[in-house]
Structure 1
Amino acid sequence: MLPTELLMFRVNEGIADPRRLKPTTTNLKLAETLIALYASHVGKQRAELNEEVRALEAGRADFRVLRGLSHLLGQRGEFEAGGNLAPPAVREKVFALAQSHPPSRQRTTDILEQAARALSTETPLTSAEVSAALYADLPDQQTLIAFDPLEPLELIQRFDLAQAQGMLYRAYQLVITARRNEPARYKQLLRYLKLFGLMVTVEGDADYGFTLTMDGPTSLFSGTTRYGLAMAKFLPALLHVTKWDLSAALKPRRDLAWVDPKDEEWSYQVTSEDGYVSHYKAPEEHDSALESGFAERFAKLETPWILEREVDLVPVPGGVILPDFRLVDGERSVLMEIVGYWRPEYLKKKFALLKKSGRTDLIVCVSERLNLEKAGVDPSEFGERVIWFKGVLDPKAVLAVAERIAVKN
């Protein structure tokens, strides 16, 4: 992401609009130049690299764009103190030798030579090497030891997304409407919500869309942007869901002279149609061999039933469940959850949420290999909707239950 000082946006009637770069020849050339610059500085100090970047900025009206692109490339570099000496150990030795004598040019040379002799192991050190190591761990003295480049277009896409993420730094509420997706990516969405500590309320259904509301920390943490940063980190995960709209309520920035002091709130709007590109890894089609194996076996059957992948979020008190599959036959449908190999704590929570859902159109497939007694759960309360299996889940058994419990959409 980008630091606040590199964010570029405008506000029109309370609507915040981040800066985006068009993939013009000029912008692509700038991106290419910066990428080549970073690649050519592997093995050199950060100070040299920063000096070259400042030279590129000279006389440019778009210097903040250049700085933003450079900042993103810097995040793809690995910097560390150069040489084989540990700077803290070198400083400790040199400062100890210098304590009892007044400074002078000759005395400094003598101290460095003494430190070199003291710090030498198998290979003798020179005073110049000791001098270079003294502050080698300071940021501008660190050496770029590795760099993972991007293509110019990828860098521009990353810049655009970083500007969009920056709009969420000051967000205190995020509302996402996720319409029915095929295939859906809701499970990854929920994982990232948990990863970044976002509190979410889910409402709606598959036909009219799900509304996910994330309330930020305004009332809890007042001036902090910690929760907004979590929302910003979450945005690239949302991009893997194919149909959605996002609306964020933002706290206006008071540090900008052009901000209308009467503004009490800004709004930021973005949708799946806006063309942002995620750099997060796309989720696998199936989360386990159990699910992928079942889908493969189902595909070989001759049946009017259609198997859909993760298309329902089911709101329940205290959480949300995301069934693995939906089976559809015309106007009839059932949901399906496969409970495979999991820890007792997970099983306890899983069955508690399934029970709270109150759904009578949900088939629960349970592996006989699970230690349900240790988890303290009893699937028998789901009655005829429970299917027990050992190593392989038979799709014919699932279809038999689906025929009995399916409901009209």
Structure 2
Amino acid sequence: MLPTELLIHRFNGEEIAPKRLEFDAKVLAIAEDLITLFQEARNGTRGALNRQLQELEGEETDYRVKRGLAHLLNSSFSTFETVSPLDPPMLRERVFALSAQSVPSAQATQMTIEKIANDLGQELDREVLPEQVKAGLYADLPENQILTSFEAPTPEALLHRYNLSQVQGVFYRASHLVINAHRNDPGQYKLLFRYMKLFQLMTYIEGDADHGFTLTIDGPTSLFKPSTRYGLAIAKLLPALLHVTRWSLAAELQINDSYSGQKRQGRFALDSECGLVSHYPPGKTYDSLLEAGFVDRWNKAKTEWRLEREVDLIPIPGSVMIPDFRVVHPDGRSFLVEIVGYWRPEYLRKKFSQVRQSGRDDLILAVSERLNLENAGVKISDTPARIVWFKDQLLPKAILQVLENV
């Protein structure tokens, strides 16, 4: 996504309109030039790349567009790493300590570097050259990091990402938004709700899979303390929403007016005909590495129980619960599995409240021992579910033991 200073929006009354690039020859050429520049910058430093980007910007008025496209290439398609024959913090500590013992001069600096190289050579039992000490001394600074890989997008894909990022920036200052997800394929709802769970959005849900859902989401400016991180989380939901076939969205905003310095109200609307393109995969998503690791271990376990990811929506008042997994036995028995890992207190209270309201007697709740349920106001004794405790990772054996005792 784009930082606030690279967002380009205009107002029509209270309606806000984000900048969208047309796919004309001029803009496609700019995107292609930037992509080529990054490709040719592989194995070079970030600092050298930034200088080339500044030259490409020149003095033209579209510098913010070029800077925005470059930011996306930098943050989403590039990998920068510290490449050094020696550990930079260790080098600085030793060089600074030794150089403090002599009067600063070019000769003293050279002697210091040569002595450090000689000492390290003896300690590591290999040759260490003074040039390696010089090269490694500040190799971990951002401008000295190396562009080790670059996954070049097509110019069209880069422009799609730019247009999406400009729209995502609208939600940084949302007070709340309402999404109407009309009647769609149930799998699309599930994917959308899983992303909402992943981003920990505070949502009130009404409706059902047959008629559609209305989702009311509190925005970052509605919180007691506005949270930039929460605004980013809402923005991250938009690419997931694009995988839903029919939907509409309305948001209320609190915008800082750059001229008056005062806050002003804004509105923004969007629907499934917006033409934006998602970069999120349309398939399944795991809510955490914890779940992904559990799936991997289950696939290696020797058991007749089959682990399924596709689980039906469980409607509850004001929300929808989607258990993480279903385990099914060849004889037809099945149970739902919900993993409760690393959540804030308000989400713990909501999660256990959902379990109580679900009315299900086939639910297994896997709860991390790291969670302080008591401080969160959760009474585990009030939970009508079979409980499995785990530490750092959830093992299939723990779930299978519960299933054997049923």
- Measure the CA separation in 1 of the matches of 2:82 and 2:322: 47
Bigger drift between 115-124 and 236-245 goes to 115-124
Which one has the largest radius of gyration?
1
Q: Which residue is equivalent to 1:355?
A: 359
Kept after mapping to 2: 8 A contact 1:205/1:314: no
| Per-residue deviation, residues 53-81 of structure 1 (Å, max 9, x unmatched) | 11100032211111111111111211122
| Per-residue deviation, residues 240-292 of structure 1 (Å, max 9, x unmatched) | 111111111111123x22x695x63111111111011111111249xx97779
Report sequence identity in percent.
43
**Paired AA for residue 355 in structure 1:** G
Q: Cα gap change, 1:69/1:219 in structure 2, threshold over 3 Å: closer, same or farther?
A: closer
Please, what is the CA RMSD of the aligned residues? 3.4
Q: Which residue is equivalent to 1:23?
A: 23
- Measure the CA separation in 1 of the matches of 2:13 and 2:352: 49
Q: Which residue is equivalent to 2:9?
A: 9
- Measure the CA separation in 2 of the matches of 1:69 and 1:344: 39
Q: Which residue is equivalent to 1:240?
A: 243
| Per-residue deviation, residues 373-392 of structure 1 (Å, max 9, x unmatched) | xx8559xxxxxxxxxxxxxx
Q: Which residue is equivalent to 1:49?
A: 49
- Measure the CA separation in 2 of the matches of 1:203 and 1:341: 23
Kept after mapping to 1: 8 A contact 2:186/2:209: no
Q: What is the CA distance between 1:138 and its match in structure 2? A: 0.8
Kept after mapping to 1: 8 A contact 2:323/2:336: no
Report the 3-state secondary structure (helix = DSSP H, G, I; strand = E; otherwise coil) of the residue aligned with 1:168. Answer: helix
Q: Which residue is equivalent to 2:217?
A: 214
Q: What is the CA distance between 1:234 and its match in structure 2? A: 1.2
Bigger drift between 184-193 and 197-206 goes to 197-206
**Paired AA for residue 90 in structure 1:** L
- Measure the CA separation in 2 of the matches of 1:348 and 1:225: 27
Bigger drift between 215-224 and 37-46 goes to 215-224
Report the 3-state secondary structure (helix = DSSP H, G, I; strand = E; otherwise coil) of the residue aligned with 1:169. Answer: helix
**Paired AA for residue 114 in structure 2:** E
| Per-residue deviation, residues 278-310 of structure 1 (Å, max 9, x unmatched) | 11111249xx977799xxxxxxxxxxxxxxx97
Gaps of 5+ in 2: 286-294, 296-305, 325-332, 342-350, 364-382, 387-406
Q: Cα gap change, 1:219/1:63 in structure 2, threshold over 3 Å: closer, same or farther?
A: closer
Q: How does 1:274-353 map to 2 (within 5 A)?
A: 274-284=274-284, 315-317=315-317, 319-321=319-321, 339-340=334-335, 342=337, 352-353=356-357
Q: Which residue is equivalent to 2:82?
A: 81
Q: Which residue is equivalent to 2:264?
A: 264
Q: How does 1:50-199 map to 2 (within 5 A)?
A: 50-75=50-75, 76-120=77-121, 121-182=124-185, 184-199=187-202
Q: Cα gap change, 1:74/1:20 in structure 2, threshold over 3 Å: closer, same or farther?
A: same
- Measure the CA separation in 2 of the matches of 1:143 and 1:37: 15
Kept after mapping to 1: 8 A contact 2:252/2:268: yes
Gaps of 5+ in 1: 294-308, 325-337, 357-363, 368-374, 379-409
- Measure the CA separation in 2 of the matches of 1:344 and 1:77: 33
**Paired AA for residue 91 in structure 2:** V
Q: Cα gap change, 1:17/1:339 in structure 2, threshold over 3 Å: closer, same or farther?
A: farther
TM-score w.r.t. structure 1 length? 0.72
Q: What is the CA distance between 1:85 and its match in structure 2? A: 1.2
Q: Which residue is equivalent to 1:252?
A: 255
Q: What is the CA distance between 1:84 and its match in structure 2? A: 1.8
Q: What is the CA distance between 1:46 and its match in structure 2? A: 0.6
Matched pairs, number: 331
Kept after mapping to 1: 8 A contact 2:256/2:264: no
Kept after mapping to 2: 8 A contact 1:319/1:353: no
- Measure the CA separation in 2 of the matches of 1:219 and 1:376: 33
Bigger drift between 204-213 and 240-249 goes to 204-213
TM-score w.r.t. structure 2 length? 0.73
